[in-house]
Structure 1
Amino acid sequence: MTAFATPEDIARRTTAAKDAAVAAGRDLGLTITEPKVLYELFSVVVHLAPSPVVARVPVVLPHTEDLDATTARQQRELDVARWLANQGTPVIPPADDVSAKPVQRDGFSITFWPFVEEDRSGEPDYVANSEKAAELHAALKDYPGELQFLGTAEPQFITESFRILEKHPDLLDPADRERAEREWAQLEPAVREQAEFEKRFPGIALQPIHGDCPPANIFASTNGPLFSDFELITYGPVEWDLASLGPDLEAAYNRGARANNTRELDDKVLEFVNAVAAVRAIAYLSVTPQLPQIAEFMKPLIDTWRARPTPA
């Protein structure tokens, strides 16, 4: 049977990440006497109080990513957030007065952001956020940074995860794994190669995209909504950012696209990215030993996938 991280293991990991963030922040000249963990899941987010700075520390990583790859990914995030802020886009910018680069400390790679007060007066409005995502795509369209085609889909991680899941049938029913592998074999070429995608979907414009569901990553600040969390910034079809969100949020996005004079979602590309997102969710069961709650987190998406007819 697979060994899972215990609550004590996760608490120790969180404490180690917090301590690394505090040490790195102090090395950069910050006064930190009351550090507070604001959030923990894939990353640990620490308010380095009383300094108005937040540190974000990834702690659950794909097995295909080493520390230097994490740092490179974080640098892309810092670069695009800084560029968007300079264009006047409502975004949480890097805390450039602290460090414009990720800092490696005690086996972690850490980025620094301004502490922003959250408006907790209401629940997230994902319909409004989906409409607003078209505004972000309009702003990102001219981003000049070099980005990999659909890197956020993590094709190598998906492929290798099936080998891990094959050895751990307690994480995923073998019949589900075999079906997911068959589907991935059909999807993979158009994920790995831009030319193959363009051949399969001729005429679909590609551009820089958020990469990680922008409707779920709009921060409700007390001064209004701010785009955030660009860790998975990538190049691809805008449909990727709406994967698995369903017809209501797709319709909201299309309203935003019309308002921003950008293209609406293509149904065939949506079908493709939804299929890729489902297979990727299944692949992420391979990190369950590091983060046991991921199985529950991914369950709705996987249940929807199971209910769909198997493609011919």
Structure 2
Amino acid sequence: MSAFLTPEQLAHRTARAVDAAVRAARGLGLTVTGPRVLHDVFSVVVHLEPAPVVARVLTVLPHYADLASQATRQRAELGVVRWLADRGVPVIPPSPLVPAEPVQVDGFSMTFWQYVEPAPDAEPDYVANCGLVAGLHAAMRDYPGELSFLSAAEPRFIEDSLALLAERPDLVEPADLDRAGREWRALEPMVRSRAEFEARFPGIDLRPVHGDCPPANIFPSLHGNLYADFEMVTLGPVEWDLAGLGPDGEAAYDREADRLGLRRLDRDVLRFVTAVGMLRGLAALALAPQLPMLVEAIGPLVEQWRSTPFAGGLAD
């Protein structure tokens, strides 16, 4: 595993991503004179001013994520969000000024979205947002497109990262890595196989879900809350979208599910998805050389994980 990128190298990557987005946008006929970075973590999100368009450029990725696999994931996102927007669901839609297709420039894969003005001084209310997720699940229920089972869990990423982290005791302590490996062996069959999941959790319906903690991806715009960032959209149990959000968030979801005639969250499935989510979070430390801030950001999750039952209490 490589050394950590320096601040200068991180700034250079951001500049390259912005330049690629500008060149792609101009190639699609947009006028761009003042690109402005809005967000820069796993992706560089840039407002292509004065065009009312935002480019999201993937930058921090596992080594096996080639341009073809990135585009496949991006097409799934664009397809779901366009379908929701056409039905009046409050989402940040793909930009109507360019084709709703991934564009690849200079080794980057990117998508283009409508620029939405944020509400000033808005503070996210994650508990209230958990209730809003039930409405999203109701809206996504009839999506006709094909989605892969629990692709948002990224089983290859977890497995690959645990192997890489075996060479980095500076990032994960050997005892923690040993436990993570044993947990993954217990949980992996239910992540990789729909049949295994359904055998372990009979009667739990699978449906299109957001895939990437939607309570944290609800955008407060000037005109109300909008669902955003469907990069990890997947077929799975609704519990996947509530993993690790705690009893208050779960109760908020259940109240709204009751109102909408949806099923309540299943506690065993919640334990399963939370255990998988924590392993995926720990595995993200393998990306720390590309994104050094992850070391500090993931530290509290590792501490929390150490205090939880092995594999969520679902394995011996």
TM-score bin (small chain): over 0.9
- 1:288 alignment counterpart: 288
- Structure 2 counterpart of 1:197, one-letter code: F
2:116–2:221: 8 Å Cα contact kept in structure 1? Answer: yes
Matched position secondary structure for 2:297: helix
Q: What's 1:170 paired with? A: 170
- Separation of aligned partners in 2, 1:78 and 1:308: 36
Q: Hey, what's the Cα distance between the residues in 2 that align with 1:35 and 1:122? A: 24
Question: 2:159 aligns to what?
Answer: 159
Alignment partners' CA distance in 2, 1:68 and 1:214: 26
The separation in 2 between residues aligned to 1:250 and 1:75, in whole angstroms, is 30
| Partner-residue secondary structure (3-state), 1:252 | helix
Do the aligned residues in 2 keep the contact of 1:244 with 1:301 (CA within 8 Å)? no
SS at match of 2:116: coil
**Alignment partners' CA distance in 2, 1:154 and 1:2:** 22
- Tell me the distance in 2 between the aligned counterparts of 1:283 and 1:125: 27
- Name the structure 2 match of 1:50: 50
Give the secondary structure class of the aligned counterpart of 2:50: coil
Deviation at 1:171, TM superposition (A): 1.2
Matches of 1:229 and 1:101, distance apart in 2: 15
Greater displacement, 57-66 / 22-31: 57-66
TM-score normalized with structure 2 length: 0.97
Q: Deviations over 1:96-117 (max 9, x none)?
A: 3212101000000111011100
When structure 1 is superposed on structure 2, of 145-154 and 94-103 the one drifting more is: 94-103
Matches within 5 A, 1:226-305: 226-305=226-305
Amino acid at match of 2:308: R
Contact map agreement 2:217 2:227 (CA 8 A) in 1: yes
CA distance in 1: counterparts of 2:301 and 2:138, whole angstroms: 28
Cα distance in 2, alignment partners of residues 60 and 155 from structure 1: 17
SS at match of 1:122: coil
RMSD of aligned residue pairs (Cα, Å): 1.1
The equivalent residue for 1:307 is: 307
Q: Which string of whole-angstrom CA distances, capped at 9 and with x for unpartnered residues, describes residues 190-243 of structure 1? A: 000000000000000110000001100010000100001000000000000001
Q: 2:70 matched to which residue of 1?
A: 70
Question: What is aligned with 1:125?
Answer: 125
Task: Tell me how far apart the structure 1 counterparts of residues 109 and 17 of structure 2 sit (CA, whole Å).
Answer: 9
Q: Which moved more, 1:265-274 or 1:61-70?
A: 61-70
Q: CA deviation at 1:307?
A: 1.5
Q: Deviations over 1:270-306 (max 9, x none)?
A: 0000110111111111111000111222222221111
Shift of the 64–256 alpha-carbon distance from structure 1 to 2, 3 Å rule, reads farther
User: Once the two structures are superposed, what CA deviation does each residue of 1:27-58 show, in whole Å capped at 9, x if it has no partner?
Assistant: 01111111111110000011100111110001
Q: What residue is the counterpart of 2:83 in the other structure? A: 83
Extract structure 1 runs of 4+ deviating beyond 3 A: 309-312
Which AA in structure 2 matches 1:247? Answer: P
Matched with 2:103 is 103
Checking the alignment, whether the CA contact within 8 Å between 2:92 and 2:113 is kept in structure 1 is: yes
Letter in structure 2 aligned against 1:259: R
The runs of 5 or more residues in structure 2 that have no matched partner are none
The DSSP-based 3-state class of the residue aligned with 1:48 is strand
- Output the amino acid matched with 1:242: L
- AA aligned to 1:225 is N
Q: State the AA in 1 paired with 2:176.
A: D
Question: One-letter code of the match for 1:229?
Answer: D
- How many residues align structurally? 312
* Aligned partners of 2:44 and 2:56 also within 8 Å: yes
User: 2:136 — aligned with what?
Assistant: 136
Equivalent residues of 2:122, 2:220 under 8 A apart: no
CA drift of 1:2 comes to: 5.4
Q: Bigger CA drift: 134-143 or 294-303?
A: 294-303
Identity among equivalent pairs (%): 59
Equivalent position of 2:27 in the other structure: 27
3-state secondary structure, aligned to 1:181: helix
Instruction: Report the residue type matching 2:304 in the other structure.
Output: T
- Verify: 1:3 aligned to 2:41, yes or no: no
The structural deviation recorded for 1:309 is 4.0
1 CA distance for matches of 2:133 and 2:297?
23
